[in-house]
Structure 1
Amino acid sequence: MKWKAVLKNLDVIAIIAASIGAIVLHHLGIIPETYVISILLMLLALHTLQEALRGEEIKEDIKTITKNVQVSDPEVELIKPRELLVYTEEFALKNRGEVWWFNACCTMFRSQELFDRLLKTSIDSSRTTKIYFVMNKTMKEAWERDIRPKIEKCRGRDKVQEPVWREIDEDIAFQMIDVGVDREAKEALLAFWGEPFMMELGSEGQHVPRYLIHVKSQSELISRLQDIFVRCRLKNS
């Protein structure tokens, strides 16, 4: 390790040796004092120039490393309880086409605030073209009671298609949107029925998401969720 340090600083060692040599020669009367000063100034200038060049090389190395180091965008992101409403609202505004809802709990829309922030934002958005629901048959009564009357009051109510009612075995629920402009690209907010992702409120079994998973367009989960939605929507009743 010591030898590596010596080799790395050979230029400094050479300057020190030359300076000592010039001083010794001056004391021996071989060269005058003005020569010593000139030699020392020249060596100092050379060292300064070399350090400046080395600094530029270091900067270029740092730039190269920075360009080569890429922080990859995660395919999924966990959305925490305190962020849910704002995040879901912003997610709906990103939509550029169809919105797909799968196996959601209709009773959570009993609250006007939750309806406005989770669903009405999509309905009223000029960028939303259609909204499709594939829902569990057990939610039909809650749909008629808690959701349909609110949808009828929205200016974009014609975008909402009649729900497709199915017996759904999957323990997941998700909302999927279009985010692509020139090409198809979808993202989803995914939840799981039961703790810790969904909590049950009250005696009537109202289920509200506690955590959501934001599935990005580059995730292979998107194609799997698409398959589940299409398969359930098209299968025989």
Structure 2
Amino acid sequence: MKIKWFGQSCFMITSRSEIKVLTDPYKKMFGYKLPEEIEANIVSTSHNHSDHNNINAVRSSFVHISKPGDFSKHGIEIKGIQTFHDKTSGSKRGKNTVYNFNIDDINICHCGDLGHVLNSNQIAEIGNVDILILPVGGLATINAFDAVQVMKQLNPTIVIPMHYRTKALGLMGYIFGKVDKFISASGLKAKEYEELELNKANIKDYSGIVVLKYD
């Protein structure tokens, strides 16, 4: 599979059979910009905020997953688990859905705008995680230290940080923490890639933190 980061919480995950899963597409904001002719077979949105739910950016027909539950689409098993966008059961920012996708026999957990560490029921619902896509920048999501705790709760082989300060954000980026803070707190080694390409046989070769570049 291939995993490409488009900034914020938006990723394109492409299976070996070329099924494309797009997570949390955003409106043009914060200095990030989606490709103009973006296509996907499945689009997931973790919550209904404009930097995560711009499904109109997708130019192809697609299946939209936007809530908790179990789904099977295009040969991909998807589980949505209800969480919250804050530490007060959603009273400040509402609900958030964490998704676990089984793609090419690899479990990829995309946390959306998770705002709290997980409870035991949520950990059990999420289940096995091979690749964890995790917000680390704080403010509207968990910060670097809470992100480390969630990482330890789910024990993935690979962690891909998201929703943190980058140069593309300009001055707006200063509201978020840097990815370096999470890397330092994690105690893990980090590697940087333009795009992550792996399979079930070689996934352990990429273990640790994978930082994907934003073009």
Give the alignment's TM-score, normalised by structure 1.
0.28
| Larger helix proportion of the pair | 1
Greater strand fraction, Structure 1 or Structure 2: 2
**Which of the two has higher C-alpha Rg?**
1
* TM, length-normalised to structure 2: 0.30
